[in-house]
Chains A and B, each alone.
Chain A
Amino acid sequence: MTNDNDFILKIDRVSKTFPGVKALDDIHLEVRRQEIHALVGENGAGKSTLIKILSGVYQPDEGAYLAIDGVELKNLSPIEAVRRGISVIYQDFSLFPNLSVAENIALSLDIEKGRRLVNWKRTRARAVDTLDRLGVSIDPDQELGGLSVARQQLVAIARALTYDARLIVMDEPTSALSRSEVELLFRIMRSLKDEGISILFVSHKLDELFAIADRFTVIRDGRYMGSYPKEEMDNERLISLMVGRKIEYTIYPKRKCGEPILEVRHLSKQGNFVDVSFVLNRGEVLGITGLVGAGRTELVQAIYGMNTPDSGRILIDGKPVRIRSSTDSVRYGIGYVPENRLREGLVLQQSTANNVILVTLDKLTNRLGAVVADRKDSLVERSINMLAIRPSDPEMIVSKLSGGNQQRVVLAKWLVGSPKILIVDEPTNGIDVGAKAEIHKLLRDLAESGIAIILVSSELPEILAIADRILVMRRGRVAAELDGSTATQEELMSKAILSEQTGASR
């Protein structure tokens, strides 16, 4: 039987409310001594919030129980967390590129001890000791910025060890590593475990999780979905625990539509994507999903001419085209709304009209560079009518419009060139549910009107709600093409994260 002493970390009833959002709801987590514990959840499930509570950056809501090493802690501060032996390695490592490796390793400890002077001999000796303990050979006098990402990560781990960390939290530590670098990291994680250190490992790469973790805790939508030892866990179970977020969105009926407008054949780009082929039809919404870093954005940017592919062909209306710049793609009728632009693309203190024409000013000017009023007025009027912006007054200041109408103004901006193909990248990232629904409706309406839409999104319910067909990308390849009317979240997630050999070799 276990008692409190078997756990290095025990948290219970942890909730965290931000204005308007409950990010965590009654979370429970226990990490045992000498355990590599996987914390799993979709993007936005609340993993980062939980990490920030563990590191003392956020305070949980009233009534939370948090104990390190059997001692209950209230009002945990970052420095107190470190003193208690919790060390977080953030995705960006929080290191100093301009300082030496030795200093990066020893600096925080000097601050924590309140030292005023630097002892270089001690600094160097400590760094050498810690690097030896990790069993890696890195020159302690080398400037950190000159090291590869993988080696910088080792330095961050070394720094955590100088604090006598007993629980090291690693946030997506493998996201920027190559296969062999991941192997080295895992070897080090296992040897740390043998030394008595526990590791909380955050990731959503399943094959890696099964290779290294002893136990799993899954959270979904800020709620605890359970903890399971490795023996009781398999791919299907993990995926079913992770996904299955309630779909709050209207599911639009899917259509089989029109003739092909865009064809992509065997498109490849070194380090970005490999052998991608697909067809986009008039009037359809094609969803592209996959993990962050699977090559989705790089692919759509290649179609838009911002990222020249190494090989392969792009056909528009059956004719091969070369798209080398965004000027080319605008000429071929392709529009691209980059990530976050739907949220950030407004000049709030300006009128609807001025916002709408922002992107296409050059189309409205005469030879002297002055805006031709007639052209502007007719164009703005067309946009307002097409997108049903209310109130329809073009001189209305945008900040006075409702959220949904503001979104329409932004979209109007990107539609002034009247594209035949519209690419939207994560259009609803970070906006509230109501505004999301507005955008979904808009995209569907645009598709009805005959525009072909490529929707890049990580949010599975969103993809399922509005995409007619879905491409799932994994590690630069199209892993699957699914029918939007029959696909499920589980299906999408497993295609996005499972490689063919997972499970077979382990």
Chain B
Amino acid sequence: MQTKGFRFWRAKEFVIFVVLVIICAIVTIVNPVFIHPSNLMDILLTNTVLGMMALGMLVVILTGGIDVSVGAIIATVTMIVGNFLAHVSGNLLLAFLVGAGSGAALGLMNGLLIAKLKIHAIVVTLGTMSIIYGVMFLLTGGEWVTQEHIPEGFKSFGRIVFGHVKTTSGGTTGLPVQFLFLVAAVMVTWALLRYTMFGRGVYALGGNRISAERAGFRIDRIIVLVYLFEGILIGFAGVVHTSIMRQVDPNAFNGFELQVIAAVVLGGTSILGGTGSVLGAILGVALIAVLNNGLILMRVSSYWQQIVIGLVIVAAVSTDIVQKQRAEARKTRVDVEITEGARS
């Protein structure tokens, strides 16, 4: 890794990190329960799914695309996985295969439509969001998969923790097993973006599509692969979610796509594509996680929570756009050189 080249305190991510630390400090002062290890473990557990999905969304947004169907995809994956566990097999490995496979299929569908139809991703995924939800409710009737139908083996897998942390109510907890999936997703996404030509193609495409074409990148393939990769991450996240909740609610992810997109954008990823990082996306997820948790601990009404998070998102996106516009304005100066002033 190029430790010389990377200057954290100068990077965009550093600002987000500072904001995160300040928010943590404020929440802790108002309610010290915030930094209790068990609360921190709880934050990790409840935001693992958000984190995994944000990584997929990061890769999509880096190409200049977007995916608003992620809520529908994970809802469908959890329904498929839940029904598979309830009616077919309680095998853990198979459950992950089914989850990843169904996520991959839905992601592939999005990718192919966006690449081949050449319609903007937001239009395509708005459409597929509606279709995916529609088909899922049609086939399942919107029935929950309740706790008693989930096999015991799968449930106990979901309860695995590492280490011992006392909870405020006297019990013990630890580092949840689900967190390992987030760690794995972070490492895979980071390596993919940084060390593969595919990953560099993602950045190149988001930076300048025409140049990327001229340089010889196969644009359509990159787009398809990006949504496929996102679909696979959502697939794993769906199984992880099921192992946390030990039941499946088909409506659990209504509006969740906004949280995912918000986390990525808060993490400094340009909504126009080309800039953004795994570190930033994770910091963005942490920011959303801390805001959600902190506002509860500070006993702010849940309506206010929505308003605060919304304001933070608008602020983050507009700073990004304003910075871009300023940079553009600096470059579009008319270049008429006047050197013969003294002559005529």
Contact = CB atoms under 8 A, between A and B. Distances in A.
A179 interface: yes
B194 A94 contact: no
Contacts of A500: 340, 343-344
Contacts of A298: 334, 336
Interface string B318-344: 000000000100010111111111011
Nearest to B205: A96
A477 B197 contact: no
A477 B217 CA distance: 44
A500 B343 CA distance: 8
B274 interface: yes
Contact of A107 (B1, B215, B337): B215
Given A96-B203, A477-B344, A118 B208 contact: no
A293 B335 contact: yes
B197 A476 contact: no
A295 B336 contact: yes
B208 A94 contact: yes
Interface stretch (A7-15, A97-105, A212-220, A364-372): A97-105
B198 to A, nearest CB: 8
A178 interface: yes
A17 to B, nearest CB: 24
Interface string A473-506: 0011101000000000000000000011100000
A115 B197 contact: yes
B195 to A, nearest CB: 5
B214 interface: yes
A118 B212 CA distance: 16
Contacts of B195: 117-118
B301 interface: no
Nearest to A270: B338
A50 interface: no
A93 B210 CA distance: 11
Given A272-B336, A274-B338, A111 B211 contact: no
Interface string A97-141: 111100100011011100111101000100000000000000001
Contacts of B4: 141
B274 A111 contact: no
B203 A98 contact: yes
B155 interface: no
Interface residues of B, number: 38
Contacts of A175: 335
Interface string B112-143: 00000000000000000000000000000000
A94 B338 contact: no
Contact of B196 (A112, A116, A479): A116
B275 interface: yes
Nearest to A141: B5
B340 A99 contact: no
A203 B210 CA distance: 23
A414 interface: no
A267 interface: no
Contact of A95 (B208, B216, B275, B333): B208
Contacts of A477: 338, 340, 344
Contacts of A178: 337
Contacts of A95: 208, 211
B206 interface: yes
Given A120-B2, A295-B336, A298-B334, A108 B216 contact: yes
Interface in A281-315: 293-295, 298
A273 interface: yes
A446 to B, nearest CB: 29
A294 B214 contact: no
Nearest to A124: B2
A476 B340 CA distance: 10
Nearest to B210: A94
Shortest 8 CB-CB contacts between residues of A and residues of B: A98-B207, A98-B274, A96-B207, A94-B211, A141-B5, A111-B216, A476-B336, A295-B336
24 contacts: A93-B211, A94-B215, A96-B203, A96-B211, A98-B206, A98-B207, A98-B275, A100-B5, A107-B215, A108-B216, A111-B215, A116-B196, A118-B196, A124-B2, A141-B5, A149-B331, A271-B335, A272-B334, A273-B336, A293-B335, A295-B334, A475-B337, A500-B340, A500-B343
Interface of A: 78-79, 90, 92-100, 103, 107-108, 110-112, 115-118, 120, 124, 141, 145, 149, 175-176, 178-179, 271-274, 293-295, 298, 475-477, 479, 499-501
